[in-house]
A and B are shown apart, each in its own frame.
Chain A
Amino acid sequence: MKRLESIDDLEKLRKAIIGKNKAYIKTVALCGGTGCRAYGSESLKNAFEQALKEHNLSDKVRLIFSGCHGFCEQGPIMIIRPEGIFYSKVTEDHIDLIITETLIKGNIIDSLLYEDPTTGEKMVYEKDIPFYKAQNRIVFGQNGSIDPTNIEDYIAIGGYSALCKVLNGMDPTEIINEIKESGLRGRGGGGFPTWQKWESCRNANGNPKYLVCNCDEGDPGAYMDRSLLEGNPHLVLEGMLIGAYTIGSQEGYIYVRHEYPWAWANAGIAINQAREMGLLGENILGTGFSFDIDIARGGGAFVCGESTALVASLEGRMGEPRDKQHLHTVESGLWEKPTNLNNVETWANVPIIINNGAEWYSKIGTEGSKGTKIFSLVGKVKNTGLVEVPMGISLREIVYDIGGGTPNGTKIKAIQTGGPSGGCIPSSMLDIPVDFDELTKVGSMMGSGGMIVMDEKTCMVDVARYFVKFLKDESCGKCLPCREGLKRMDEILTDIIEGNGSEEQIELLHELALVMKDASLCGLGKTAPNSVLSTLQYFRDEYEAHVIDKKCPAGVCKDLITYSINADACTGCGACKRNCPYEAIEGERRKPHVIILDLCQKCGSCMDVCKFNAVVIS
Chain B
Amino acid sequence: MEFSMVDAIVDQHGRKPWALISILQDIQEHDGYLSPEVLRRVSERMEIPLTGLYGVATFYKTLKLVPQGKHQITVCSGTACHVRGSNRILDEIKNLLKVEPGETTEDRQFTLNVVNCLGACAIGPVVVIDGKYHGKMSASKVKDLLANFRS
Contact = CB atoms under 8 A, between A and B. Distances in A.
Asked if A and B touch directly (CB within 8 angstroms), the answer is: yes
Interface of A: 34-35, 37-39, 72-73, 75, 218-223, 226-227, 253, 258-260, 294, 296-302, 313-319, 376, 378-380, 384-385, 416, 419, 450, 452, 454, 458, 466-467, 470, 474, 476, 579, 581, 601, 603-605, 608-609
Contacts of B25: 258, 297, 299
A294 B81 CA distance: 33
Interface in B30-69: 46, 48, 52, 55-56, 59-63
A581 B121 contact: no
* Pairs of residues from A and B, 9 with the lowest C-beta to C-beta distance, nearest first: A299-B60, A223-B119, A316-B17, A72-B122, A220-B78, A300-B61, A220-B117, A605-B140, A378-B80
A34 B18 contact: no
Interface stretch (B3-11, B84-92, B104-112): B84-92
Contact of A38 (B62, B95, B120): B120
A301 B21 CA distance: 11
Nearest to A385: B122
Contacts of B59: 299, 301, 318-319, 476
Interface residues of B, number: 50
Contacts of A470: 77, 116
Contacts of A450: 79
Contacts of B81: 220
Given A38-B120, A220-B78, A221-B117, A579 B140 contact: yes
Nearest to A294: B18
Contacts of B84: 379-380
B83 A296 contact: no
18 contacts: A34-B119, A38-B135, A73-B122, A219-B117, A223-B117, A296-B21, A297-B25, A300-B60, A316-B17, A318-B55, A319-B60, A379-B83, A379-B84, A470-B77, A474-B116, A601-B91, A604-B138, A605-B139
A180 B128 CA distance: 44
B79 A604 contact: no
Given A218-B116, A220-B79, A302-B116, A297 B122 contact: no
A38 B136 CA distance: 11
A470 B115 CA distance: 10
B56 A317 contact: yes
B122 A384 contact: yes
B92 to A, nearest CB: 6
Contacts of A259: 115, 117-119
Given A260-B119, A385-B122, A581-B139, A316 B48 contact: yes
B76 to A, nearest CB: 8
Interface string B108-148: 00000001111111111010000001010011101100000
Contacts, number: 162
Nearest to B120: A38
A220 B122 contact: no
A296 B119 contact: no
A316 B18 contact: yes
A301 B88 contact: no
Nearest to A474: B116
| B-side interface mostly | helix
Given A299-B61, A378-B79, A603-B91, A318 B121 contact: no
A376 B18 contact: no
Nearest to B89: A603
Contact of B88 (A38, A315, A466, A603): A603
Given A296-B21, A316-B48, A581-B92, A603 B139 contact: yes
Nearest to A455: B83
A544 B56 CA distance: 42
Nearest to B124: A378
Nearest to A260: B119
Contacts of B60: 298-301, 319
A39 B95 CA distance: 28
A272 to B, nearest CB: 15
A294 B126 CA distance: 31
A318 B135 CA distance: 33
Given A220-B77, A258-B62, A581-B140, A253 B115 contact: no
Contacts of A608: 138-140
Nearest to A376: B121
A299 B62 CA distance: 5
Contact of A221 (B80, B85, B135): B80
A12 B115 CA distance: 47
A300 B62 contact: yes
Nearest to B74: A259
A603 B72 CA distance: 23
Nearest to A74: B122
Contacts of A218: 116-117
B109 to A, nearest CB: 19
Nearest to A579: B140
Nearest to A383: B122
Contact of B83 (A253, A376, A452, A609): A452
A416 B78 CA distance: 13
B20 interface: yes
A222 B117 contact: yes
B16 interface: yes
A226 B85 CA distance: 24
A364 B21 CA distance: 40
Contacts of A223: 117, 119-121
B120 A35 contact: yes
A384 B18 contact: no
A291 to B, nearest CB: 16
B12 to A, nearest CB: 14
B149 to A, nearest CB: 17
A604 B121 contact: no
Given A299-B59, A316-B18, A450-B79, A75 B139 contact: no
Given A300-B62, A603-B92, 6 more contacts: A223-B120, A294-B18, A296-B18, A316-B17, A380-B84, A467-B79
Contacts of B124: 378
A72 B121 contact: yes
A38 B79 contact: no
Contacts of B126: 38
Contacts of B78: 220-221
A35 B122 contact: yes
B57 to A, nearest CB: 9
